[in-house]
Amino acid sequence: MLPGGASLFTGSRDSLIKRWGAAGGAPDGVAPGFECQASLEGHCGWVTALAHMGAAPHGLLISASYDTTIKLWDPSSQARRDRSWAGQGMQGM
């Protein structure tokens, strides 16, 4: 979750990163649920780790995947930065 509770990002085995935000319309006294606001595409394998660096809503979202890459994202625009790193995968473990 970004600092301040503005958004929640999740990664999964469908290779997508999803941005979740509070759903409107909850009755008084009931905590609102979450709804998917955006899907970020760029990995080819399970997204296994997410981290946020910097002050919300700016900063960077960092993702790691089973496809052996680490990618940087702009959490406010959901755009992938032009930076990606590839590793050697699980073969060396």
Where are the domains positioned within the chain? 8-92
Q: For residue 74, what pLDDT is reported? A: 84
Q: For residue 54, what pLDDT is reported? A: 80
Q: Classify residue 4 by its DSSP letter.
A: T
Q: For residue 93, what pLDDT is reported? A: 36
Residue with tokens 């649920």: 33
Q: For residue 2, what pLDDT is reported? A: 54
Q: 3-class SS at 11?
A: strand
Q: Which residues of the chain register pLDDT less than 70?
A: 1-6, 24-32, 56-58, 78-79, 81-93
pTM: 0.72
Q: For residue 18, what pLDDT is reported? A: 92
